[in-house]
Structure 1
């Protein structure tokens, strides 16, 4: 093992390995134990000084001010239905357990018209995404109507339509060809090998869904359609996580798998199941082994909190960039906060459909408050090395754990984020992919 420290300055674009001696001198600078003259006399410190490492660097907070004045969404996420072909035991949306309502076409049409109009005005291409209270394909007529209308309107205006679907994969084989044709991106939920997946992602009759999902994925493989897998990782799944990645590599053409530890949603839903998240250290260890297996099959595995890209927002919740319309016509910034009874609704839900005026009413005050969901405003982020990479992590999950996304307490995901970010930075450093300095050298002097 290298006797070295990882030096990481995300806002400076600096990442390198430094010796113990260099690390100690850097520590003294940042604790004001070394003066200007000492820096000038030290060749290594002078080098870092020229890179701007010792100059203050604070992101511009004003980019989040008055977010409501810039609210012009060109992307809409639909929860077209509360119907679902599964009854997942940990489902934050309580899919299939609610009222089985479908989104009225008038609401879907208005949302599509709005994003297309904004896209034309801004010179961008619009997109629609399906992810919400149930399985979008379970209400096939409404789902297909929204896609067909969106695509036809884009064609008339010379725009390129982007359609993304997150699905449980449990739908008739007759629908595969259409979905392969119209969906730009598809993500399947698969939570591990059959014994694990079938414990959590069950059919209404209580039986497992693994075979059905795998059959659907292979149908897309046959058509040459690329897709991703999103896996919610339970304690049981950790025990065979590497085997699961190997299974995907051997039996499918999937090359991208997102791994997210299960999160307890019982405080904000009516689900009575006991949901226990994995231990952070156990998840980290299993993830590292799985990543090695994935590399052998050319598969990228991904955890949302450890992205090496610097950013000031974890997701589109910040400044209400997410325009998500539920089956009831609620406008929310978070795909996990969908019901009016959710205790987090006052923060994340910022508007709704007005039947009388046939338009969406949104709250400028709530949009502006959502602009404050960024690592510069969140107490727990202030001393964290990952704050400009995870940007405060999932705000909805933090709200469940701490009652408030701005609260100082960490979640167990924070420990996972810091360790996996370090791994990813080291891998990127060794590959020479990022950083202004040190990509091929180790500073030891």
Structure 2
């Protein structure tokens, strides 16, 4: 989920920035050295967004069971800011977190280029490979069998919508009716957006951003940015084309609030009810609750999306440069056990990468009430069982971000044509790929 722009760097400049960052990290790493005045070991956990580990009380629970351990979460809101910092830390070996979250769109690059800088969690005590989804395990495993990360969550994707805004726009609010209305066809979802805009409550739009629609449609693509041989196919990819076309209809149709996802203005859009729908991978449910606040309780609902897909998901890895690898490994293993992942789901509906708990998953009463008693488990479990197999490439995240934060935004926010937007995205992609 969530990468960055501004990658047009010359090699010399990048090297200079990396060296400077490394020196600064080294100079500022006293907080990260794992020492504490009370004799406890401090384990630093690097995360992005709302991963749910802290929110579900897992750190507190672990600390109670391990009195000699203190856990500090170092969270960065957007993965596009978090991930470059992680790469700099891995490169320099300075300021590295003891446990590091890795987003699924970055896992291939980590496996293929940074695998030697992580501990092999597949050999850690207490880890059972069979507990995890097979495809999730393979994503974090090198060709020679080293597993650099354990799966936290996956991103089966639904659609979340504001019932109160739908009602004011004279649209149906029943989740089953809506799911049937747009089943199998994102164009039907867009058509509903056109209806919404005819009677939209003042100051609101149908969707938060065209990029959100792009990502939701792309989540169900079997053909993405790379083929099985690792070759880039983003230009001719049918999955990319379908997602781009849907995003362009939203951007050009005046249906979008034109918000850049995971920026402060997007967070404010939740709080101020500026949009009626948002693509809703499982991890988004917790984000919606946190950013909309108490006032959104019972106003949000959830329905099955037009197509099944996976958007996002994370892993936990243990960098080998960390000062407390043994303790960090034990923590990473514990945090990703099925019973702990079920607790995260209960708190904020982030969907576990461990299918053994699917039949017993229950969202918290607060989450169910927040989403109008929607059958959250049934919706996400149904999608999870039908997520299409997809190939991820080394620069998957960067290609996707170039498309959404350069191409889509130029059309959406600057009024450029879809052709101009795609041309700008291609230019950025080629820059990212060094072509």
Structure 1-normalised TM-score? 0.25
Structure having the higher helix fraction is 2
Which protein shows a greater Rg? 1
Structure 2-normalised TM-score? 0.26
